[in-house]
Amino acid sequence: MRNGLLAGFGAYLIWGLLPLYFRLLVGMAASDVLAHRIVWSLLIMVLVTSASAGWPRLRAAFARPRLLAMLFASAVCITCNWLIYTWAIFNGHVLDTSLGYFINPLISVVFGVVLLGERLPWLQWLAVGCAAAGVAVLAIGHGELPLISLGLALSFATYGLIRKQAAIDAVSGLFIETLILAPVALIWLRTRPGGGFDFPADTLALLMAGGVLTAVPLLLFGIAARRLKLSTLGLMQYMAPSIVFLLGVFLFNEAIDRWQMIAFGAIWLGLAIYSLSLVRGGRAVAG
């Protein structure tokens, strides 16, 4: 459990700081940045698999069709998440991404209850209700659903659910996911001027760094997902959107309207209630 907590902390810290990286690439197409993330992530995973002597485990995984189907589904989920996130950062929606990842932990809690049979005390149901109220406030106040936020929350919560159920180590799982995505990414880049790699050296270096910033937190997340309850993992996830929220307000100077403030307040209240319930539960077990 300690290793799971450390891995989760590292993953969410990196994810929280990612807007700083993407701001260096503003002006590029989000789809191009996504394709580069996939391609360079695969290269990183080849190196990691070799360093960890993971090729026998990888060969065993390829002999399990059901597992491959699960990893295909998780690869689709994480691709949707990456594309929405990158587009949102490039187009000045940092606070919308923050809201999405604040909603995400409580969706993970609901998935844990509905799909995995995890039981929740009434305080945690109240927390989920607060998050739902926050989304409803935005929908009513803005006259539309917060699609960016909901898209991010649902895609990543589904990814976490699938990866928790997939009986595979973090390295092999991510290798197969990136291997599934890489052919599509390479075909996309080949359609671009210059084959998708005709950039100044500093820009290409930044795109290559995206492979590290993509693979490392997902590896850490995969470790955490296998070692922690889905509800515990959901609780840790508000670390990243807290960092993103601070970046959006104080560094990128995004304005917050009253509806967003009410929605954030409701979701923060839900997270506070959920945290309190976990603390009380831990004390009860200790007693």
Q: What is the token pair recorded at 164?
A: 């928790």
Mean pLDDT of the region 73-98 = 94
What's the pTM value of the predicted model, to 2 decimals? 0.85
Share of the chain above pLDDT 90, in %: 45
Per-residue pLDDT, 287:
47
Give residue-wise pLDDT tens across range 110-140: 888 888 787 778 888 888 888 889 888 888 8
Report whether pLDDT(240) > 50: yes
Give residue-wise pLDDT tens across range 38-57: 999 999 999 999 998 889 99
Q: What is the token pair recorded at 1?
A: 């459990």
Give residue-wise pLDDT tens across range 183-230: 999 999 999 887 788 888 999 999 999 999 988 998 888 788 778 876
Query: Taking Cα atoms as reference points, which of 115, 128, 215, 216 lies closest to residue 161?
Result: 115
Write a three-state SS string for the chain: CHHHHHHHHHHHHHHHHHHHHHHCCECECHHHHHHHHHHHHHHHHHHHHHHCCCHHHHHHHHCCHHHHHHHHHHHHHHHHHHHHHHHHHHCCCHHHHHHHHHHHHHHHHHHHHHHHCCCCCHHHHHHHHHHHHHHHHHHHHHCCCCHHHHHHHHHHHHHHHHHHHCCCCHHHHHHHHHHHHHHHHHHHHHCCHHHHCCCCHHHHHHHHHHHHHHHHHHHHHHHHHHHCCHHHHHHHCCHHHHHHHHHHHHHCCCCCCHHHHHHHHHHHHHHHHHHHHHHHHHHHHHC
Give residue-wise pLDDT tens across range 262-284: 988 998 898 888 778 766 765 54
Give residue-wise pLDDT tens across range 246-262: 899 999 998 888 998 99
Give residue-wise pLDDT tens across range 154-173: 998 999 889 888 988 888 99
pLDDT range class, residue 22, cuts 50, 70, 90? very high
The count of other CB atoms within 10 Å of the CB of residue 285 is 7
Q: What is the token pair recorded at 118?
A: 């995890």
Per-residue pLDDT, 219:
85
Per-residue pLDDT, 285:
45
Beta carbons within 8 Å of 287's beta carbon, 6+ residues apart = none
Sign of CA dihedral 115, 155, 161, 239: negative
pLDDT range class, residue 178, cuts 50, 70, 90? very high
Rounded distance, CA 199 to CA 165, Å?
Answer: 40
Phi, psi (rounded to 5 degrees) for 157: -65, -40
pLDDT range class, residue 181, cuts 50, 70, 90? very high
Rounded distance, CA 152 to CA 83, Å?
Answer: 9
Per-residue pLDDT, 74:
95
Segments making up each domain of the chain, as ranges: 2-286
CB burial string 240-263: b at 16+ within 10 A, e below: bbbbbbebbeeeeebeeeebbebb
Query: Which is more confident, 18 or 222?
Result: 18
